[in-house]
A and B are shown apart, each in its own frame.
Chain A
Amino acid sequence: METDTCLQKAAELLAPWAQETIEPEPGRVDVAVAPGDLVAAARALMDARWGYLTAITGLDPGEEDGRLEALYHFACGAAIVTLRVRVPRTRPAVPSLIDVIPSVSFYERELMEMFGIVVEGTPNTDRLFLPEDWPDGIYPLRKDFRMEQLGG
């Protein structure tokens, strides 16, 4: 009950930017937004005090798809809203949420180093998990990553 009300409210808040809204399973709403609308959509949730950003998932649907995805999961009680942003593989970039969610830095650093998605405007672009000598331009959680790319 309460969860459904939460989800309904989120869907209403996100309606101006929603390209596609699906309910993949009970308690969840998945809203596709354009990269340019990500900050506005997140701000709508935060201004309405709708839960908190719980994680960012990077996804690689494979080379033939030609895109990469960044999934921003917000949780409010048992309800989860995912903002799904699809970016072209040739020039993958999303705007930073740092002005809306000050604690987002770690999540964005992880997304950058693991998937090579450029997070524009994020304050710290240092690696968080990968070693200093990790080669530039090699992103381990992409599907086309091969161990041989590391050389040695």
Chain B
Amino acid sequence: MASEKFVIPIGPQHPALKEPGHFEFNVDGEIVTDASVRLGYVHRGIEKGAETRNFVQAEYLVERICGICSHVHATAFCLGVERLAGVEAPPRAQAIRQIVAELERIHSHLLWVGVAAHEAGFDTLFMYTWRDRETVMNLLEGITGNRVNYSANVLGGVKCDIGPEQAEAIQIGLNFLEERTRHYLEVVSSDAMFLRRTRGIGVMTREDAERMGVVGPTARASGVPRDVRIDAPYLLYAEHPVELVIEEAGDLEARFKVRVRELFESYRVIRELLTALPEGELTARIPRRIKPAETISRVEAPRGELFYFIKSNGTDSAERVKVRTPTLPNMASVLALSVGHQLADVPMILAGIDPCFSCNDRMAVVKRNGDEQVWTWEQLRQYGIEYYR
């Protein structure tokens, strides 16, 4: 019997985060000896769908690949299609795209800190970070009208401007968040109980990280200097750059520190962009049909390099849209890192790469008792309070 494998299935429902994925862990007692994964529970055939829709429709479609980093998907797609068409978005549009992208990173990293803290059993930190995250969600809603799927992009530019009032609201929000972030950095690097769940856990050496091709904060926490914003600047990242945030330890603690420290860079670059916001148009005209060509568009999503390959064929829709999200290379590292760890550390190791899951954040009632209604934010909030009373 001793030689027989004992397999623990985890998932497909919410193995760690609220994302479906099915893992099988072979264990020897409490220690993981092998791991495998089955994905696709939220596979929606978007690459195929993008081939049968025109470029404008496809942009809305790809924005829905992810509920957390929707903006960065649309940005990668728009930059690619614009390059194929030989069109460049006006400077003001690029600045606004970058501001929204960094606000999105703030919301994503704060969300992650909360989720990962929850996996570690530190629910106080989870609740505080998610409370503070509302600040940036409100800022995003103020600019675009939406909390998720902001839909700030259109092909050729953006559809929302940032006026003086919004700029001021953003500054105030960032001041509050910066102060809170200083506190979180102290917590994740000094809380003794928390460090027992993160320090020396899930260690990935720089060599491993490079061999496995991991991207984003997961790579940077292992000392790999890899950030598309710096390596291949797009939007206005050449004129308004971010500094590379890197840690050497390669454990969960390092992954916390990298993401929290990156927040300061996001705050700084947003402020810089707000004070130097270029004047001018928000959109450039883009042709409906695009001559046959192929392009590659890469951007730094909150979770790392997001890769788009787009092929046009002379019509108004794409011949092929290939998307490689950062979670795919990073997921491979989870399987490798789990081996040798306690089974109880697995959820933290999985959470450590910040796997990207679709989220559905908001309920909207459009028809009730047969009457069509439009609700204000206050009414919706009140409805939420009554509903859960």
Question: Which one, A25, A101, A131, contacts B40 given CB within 8 A?
Answer: A131
Closest to B40 in A: A129
CA distance A108 to B329 in the complex (A): 12
> Which of A24, A71, A103, A128 has the most chain B CB atoms closer than 10 A to its own CB?
A103
Instruction: Evaluate contact between A103 and B211: CB separation under 8 angstroms.
Output: yes
Check B309 for interface membership: any CB of A closer than 8 A: yes
Closest CB in chain A relative to B226 CB, distance in Å: 8
Closest CB in chain B relative to A78 CB, distance in Å: 3
Instruction: Evaluate contact between B324 and A77: CB separation under 8 angstroms.
Output: no
CA distance A75 to B273 in the complex (A): 28
CA distance A61 to B324 in the complex (A): 20
CA distance A73 to B324 in the complex (A): 11
Q: How large is the interface on A (under 10, 10 to 19, 20 to 34, 35 or more residues)?
A: 35 or more
Chain A residues within an 8 Å CB radius of B261: none
CA distance A80 to B322 in the complex (A): 16
Q: A73-B296, A103-B213 are in contact. Are A55 and B332 (CB under 8 A)?
A: no
Check A127 for interface membership: any CB of B closer than 8 A: yes
Instruction: Evaluate contact between A126 and B38: CB separation under 8 angstroms.
Output: yes
Closest CB in chain A relative to B16 CB, distance in Å: 18
Instruction: Evaluate contact between B38 and A57: CB separation under 8 angstroms.
Output: no
Instruction: Evaluate contact between A129 and B43: CB separation under 8 angstroms.
Output: yes
Instruction: Evaluate contact between B211 and A24: CB separation under 8 angstroms.
Output: no
Closest to A75 in B: B298
Instruction: Evaluate contact between B40 and A128: CB separation under 8 angstroms.
Output: yes
Q: A75-B298, A77-B231, A78-B232 are in contact. Are A57 and B83 (CB under 8 A)?
A: no
Chain B residues within an 8 Å CB radius of A53: 213
Instruction: Evaluate contact between A106 and B328: CB separation under 8 angstroms.
Output: yes
Closest CB in chain A relative to B215 CB, distance in Å: 8
CA distance A124 to B38 in the complex (A): 11
Instruction: Evaluate contact between B232 and A128: CB separation under 8 angstroms.
Output: no
Check B331 for interface membership: any CB of A closer than 8 A: yes
Chain A residues within an 8 Å CB radius of B294: 24
Check A95 for interface membership: any CB of B closer than 8 A: no
Instruction: Evaluate contact between B324 and A140: CB separation under 8 angstroms.
Output: no
Check A151 for interface membership: any CB of B closer than 8 A: no
Chain A residues within an 8 Å CB radius of B47: 141
CA distance A77 to B38 in the complex (A): 31
11 additional A-B residue pairs with CB within 8 Å, beyond A24-B295, A107-B324, A127-B40: A24-B293, A25-B295, A52-B210, A52-B213, A57-B320, A71-B309, A78-B233, A101-B213, A103-B212, A103-B213, A124-B36
Write the residues of chain A forming the contact surface with B, with a CB cutoff of 8 angstroms.
24-25, 27-28, 52-55, 57-60, 71, 73, 75, 77-78, 80, 82, 101-103, 105-107, 124, 126-131, 140-141, 145
Q: Which 8 A-B pairs have the closest CB atoms?
A: A129-B40, A78-B232, A55-B324, A57-B322, A103-B212, A129-B43, A57-B309, A52-B213
